[in-house]
Amino acid sequence: MKQINASIITIGDELLIGQTIDTNSAFIAQELNKIGVWVKRRVAVGDSGDDIWQALDAESTISDIIIVTGGLGPTADDITKPLLCKYFGGKLVVNEEVVKHVKYLFEQVFRRPGPMLERNLKQAEVPDVCAVLHNARGTAPGMLFHKNGKVFISLPGVPHEMRGLIVNEVIPRLLQEFEMPSILHRTAFTSGQGESMIAEHIKDFESALPPYIKLAYLPGYGMVKLRLTATGDNKEELEKELDSQFGQLKKLIKAWLVTDTDEGLEVVLGKILKQKGRTMGTAESCTGGYIAHLITSVAGSSAYYNGSIVSYANEVKENILGVQHKTLESAGAVSEETVKQMVKGAIEKLNADYVVATSGIMGPDGGTADKPVGTVWIGAGNKESVIAKQFLFRFDRERNIQQTAHVALDFLRKFILTNS
């Protein structure tokens, strides 16, 4: 079966200058991959008609599906719709269904005072050569075009609106337009060993993989994901072979395997706590609540997460968590003694079965010869036992915080598994 390729074109000067982070491409790629479409290329262009035109021409030479996001709003800098009208040789016409929807949004949903602006009603103008895709979440409709055997789809750049269109309109239509091959993934999440060492350890396995199964290394904060991707026509046979290869891989990396599902440490930790019927809390200094944010980003985390004490100041460490004043004076806030006392205090204050605590120097200032920037102490424990370990990170402030949080989650995971 022929592989179906796609290109994603994101439009907007704000993307090129870094003012807005492109999250749309990642979501679109994930959804396309689920149905067997391989994303060949992702391209960002500014609000320039010539650049958009050239991108459409270039991507249509390598892809069967070209998805464009952005430039469909009601302001003068939104140039995508008139350009597409010209590119596909059509003219703008008013779509009455879109008019009804825009009026409904302004009158019934938004309930904005005063008359609707003409520029809002112009959202109902679409090229007469496109199929209109209903945008239930906004005023700008999606548009689907055909040219030279290729499918072009234009979507608004607002992430919430784009996602609704992808799921409810785009994917069902693509499944009707194309006979899709199967693209299957299996992902192993490892911790405690670097990418190069893992690669060396499994080199014979990797070299023996059949040509239709590829191995990818995805390193992150103190972890490495190993993803097997299989492509083929017969999904049932492909599943069987991929599961067999994945089983071999898991045996080889057993010593470092965290989970055999593509999920974050905050999800893995939550599953362990739910399975054991236990609760946890966090006592954060240098991470400033970032660990709590990761944990509570998981739906249902209230079943096992009691809360956090962000003890950024030493006074809070003393007055709330009960860290001894003499400990802070002698050993310092960034020390084994301090994080252990933070753990003990948080267990009592939060009434949690387990607690993880962090204290460190994130930078760019604050480091000393003995405790340079990136020095972090992490503690984990329960009522019976508390352990702590020093880590030395070498990044900028933002990445040091993220690295600390992920290492702390894994530190607590290991503690729970060995102290149940």
Query: Which domains are assigned to the chain?
Result: 4-177 (3.40.980.10), 182-259 (3.30.70.2860), 265-418 (3.90.950.20)
In this structure, which amino acid lies at residue 247?
G
Q: What is the mean pLDDT of residues 382-410?
A: 96
* Percent of the chain predicted with pLDDT > 90: 84
* C-beta separation of 10 from 25 below 8 A: yes
Of 27, 142, 126, 12, nearest to 70 (Cα)? Answer: 12
Whole-angstrom distance, CA of residue 78 vs CA of residue 73: 5
Residue indicated by tokens 């009601």: 74
pLDDT tens-digit map of 293-336: 999 999 999 999 999 999 999 999 999 999 999 999 999 999 99
Task: Confirm whether pTM is higher than 0.85.
Answer: no
How far, CA to CA in Å, does 315 sit from each of 55, 310, 325? 57, 11, 9
Closest to 68 measured CA to CA, from 15, 7, 9: 9
**Strand 354-360 vs strand 280-284: parallel, antiparallel, or unpaired?**
parallel
* pLDDT > 70? residue 134: yes
- Region 357-382: what's the mean pLDDT? 96
Q: Which amino acid is at 286?
A: C
CA distances from residue 90 to 207, 332, 351 in whole angstroms, order as listed? 52, 71, 67
**How does residue 420 score in pLDDT terms, banded at 50, 70 and 90?**
confident
Encoding tokens for residue 335?
Answer: 């020390």
d(CA 408, CA 389): 10
Amino acid 103: pLDDT: 83
Query: Do 354 and 361 contact (CB within 8 A), yes or no?
Result: no
